[in-house]
Structure 1
């Protein structure tokens, strides 16, 4: 075989390998495209790549579990849980024992492979840094609002402030040291005079003996003198002083009570509790009125009945709700929506709020921000239109009858 022929075959093999790699990359990308469509139709309701929703975040899940495990779990998660698989049981317990719908009959192995390819592609994307918008007020016309208070950590203060605090601390320590020194110098000079009753009863004497372990200045004197001759079952009453700390607190409470009475009930300088409550309730009402997402706001929607609105609501339902409530509203992970029983109210306004704000404790995700107000009303009206349809394999009733 000539050198030219060998070189020609080598080039052909290199070209074939390159085309194979290029083709496999294209196929993988195509799988991810198909997987995205399947994911958004079946999985997006309960899963996100970066955050736990009803189910866990899926970023890098293929590295933690492996493709084979993912295929089994997507096909029938409860079967994997019942098999005793530690990872599956841990997930089931962590997410409030909300079972993942079985896709064994609705998704083929190829569909599941596409979904896994999409998860891999999304996991490989670099995390996008979210830039925080900082609003800087500009001085000029219309700038009448007070500047927002900014909390500054102590270590972020200027060095001069740190030096001032350190200097104040040193001066305080020097004062304490001087007092101790003078105390140690002058006490020995007093000699036995410190034990005289006149000195011990003075303020200086009480402080001195407090440092020497005599707590009578704080706890009072115990005379052990019987107050009267009567006793009961051997219990006798002694005429001892009340602890000075208790008396001082009592005197302080009297002064505080007088000041409180003058401030609130004589000069009316401060608001009483009832008035403060009313002010806070008014502020809360103003805040709630200005907020778009107040779950307590009263709504008075009427169910939509025109065919176009119901068809639009059905489209939203099939895309976002059918994964948990079934294609016909018969209930799978979520409750049956076709009977007369409701967990959170069966009026269109109750359904609207349930869809908008969700019930995270039960696995129902909030749809505000993902669906518009009109879409939420349309899907709520469509859900009401399912009443009495009696689909096959309907879930048992849950909640109260409406």
Structure 2
């Protein structure tokens, strides 16, 4: 909620409380001027009650002032002024807290005056009047809860049904039960309009579908976030042709200057033979791309995210054994092609790339 809204809400509350205090004060003044009150006040001592209320007001005021002091401490010391909100000098924390203290103080005053009014009324009213008012209150409560006819008037609701001397009464249903029934009817109409006529809210099946779609989005975002956590220890070869193609595009963008588009090598080593300077596994290739090497290979961790480095590494595995023209002489140690996950990945990726190339060729013809 904005400071401006809170500010004016507190202003309105303070005005309403001031009006209420004035009206209660006038009522107290009227009672004080009665003879019955003057007579009854001689036997009463209101000092203790007044002291309790005044103590409460002092605590409210002290707590409010402490709240203002705390709010001022929160203000940045460098600014030296109260934060101004919405372009108005009064819409700030200190003004809000001052109004809050005023409202709390006026609430305490109103409660105290209400207590005085009740006590003064009891003093001025006769015992008979107070007793009759209590009876009226009990009758009203009974009417609201049960709507039952008093025992002295039950003859008026007797029915002409006599079962072995047991007479039947025609009492009304309890009002709370009837109102609950009426409210259920209104709730049913609102439900019908909301879900079936206007279709503002989805039904259970639709809500389930929406929840499942939202869950799929959340899972995808989670998997995407988890994919970015890949490193040289957890990286695995990618087999999806989309990832391989993405790796190829990144390779052509960043790596061809040193390794050529075919991977045959020029400044950098040949990536198509069985000789590798830093190892031939996906972990070794990923680590070299990420951190670079002493022979002039730069670190690409600032330009490529972990997923992109994994895609490039997986594409480089597909270049091995492709025998491009004019390859660079072997460098590093010999690593014989071995079976396993990486070789299977290479074969799958090469097959996918070959099939796509043949498909493109046929479409062009």
TM-score of the alignment, normalized to the shorter chain, above 0.5: no
Task: Kindly indicate which of the two structures has a greater share of residues assigned to helix.
Answer: 2
Which structure has the larger Rg?
2
